Copies of this chain bind each other. A is one copy, B any other.
Amino acid sequence: MKNRPLILVSNDDGIFAKGVKALVERLVNFGDVVVVCPDSPRSGQSMAITVNEPLRITPLPDYKGARMYQTNGTPVDCIKLAMHHILDRRPDLVVSGINHGSNASVNELYSGTMGAACEGCAFGLPSIGFSLTDHSHEADFSICNRAVDIVVKEVLEHGLPDGLCLNVNIPAIGSEPKEMKIAVPCQGHWNDEYREYTDPAGKKFYLLSGEFINDEPENENTDEWCLAHGIVSVVPTSVNRRIAIPSSLDWILTLPQVY
């Protein structure tokens, strides 16, 4: 009997987040699921790894037939520990999420959810990150069901090219979106990124804050445009930084090769 696909799951909101449970409930229909998540929220961890600190793996009770583990590491640590010390065979798919909050546009760079997906990709595995544009603990993830089912089914069937993973964002529009679109990451930035406070001793401290500024609101090809129009955005993302040198960088070829 052919093995069912093995699906490795992680996230950055931690093992007890509602989003990862909602994801597991869909994925158990597609294969054997092993979940390895941080033991607490690790948002904004990007592709950070833990250096020089002991990492521990703790098994938890199964959830809907999925094997569950927590670690004290980052999302990328979770993928690495799973690959080297938890899984007994190579997974067919890595899925990260469902993140509580958008990872569209530049947020992808800082996202631990996408960090885990990118790490799966760096292992040469088809990898997907899912995010719902609702930060709340009690967000309604059921509206993600069909988008998750469609993308997971297709990626299990077709795979993904080396060095590419998918960043899927689902708009929290109060009901299930009925449309998805292949998109590019929107050009944008955060404005006024910190709020300034004064502590009781009179010293200043800062908390990350700010507002996202869309630098191309009219571009219908971006993930932000999709989300603003109630459409699921599917963004192919490269972790391969091997690029063609653009002609505007021609001067670099004149750097003294021997000096």
Contact = CB atoms under 8 A, between A and B. Distances in A.
Contacts of A57: 204, 206
B54 A43 contact: no
Interface in A78-122: 80-81, 84-85, 106, 108-110, 115, 118, 122
A239 interface: yes
Interface residues of A, number: 80
Contacts of A259: 146, 150, 178-180
B249 A161 contact: yes
Contact of A253 (B53, B80, B182, B199): B182
A234 interface: yes
Contacts of A255: 150-151, 154, 180, 182, 234
A161 B245 CA distance: 10
Contacts of A47: 46-47, 109-110
Contacts of A4: none
Interface string A29-40: 000000000000
Contacts of A45: 46, 48
A160 to B, nearest CB: 7
Interface of A: 43-57, 74, 76, 80-81, 84-85, 106, 108-110, 115, 118, 122-123, 146, 150-151, 154, 158, 160-161, 164, 178-182, 184-185, 187, 189, 192-194, 196-197, 199, 203-208, 234-243, 245-246, 248-249, 251-253, 255-259
12 contacts: A54-B205, A54-B206, A55-B208, A81-B194, A109-B118, A179-B258, A180-B256, A184-B242, A185-B242, A234-B255, A236-B252, A237-B241
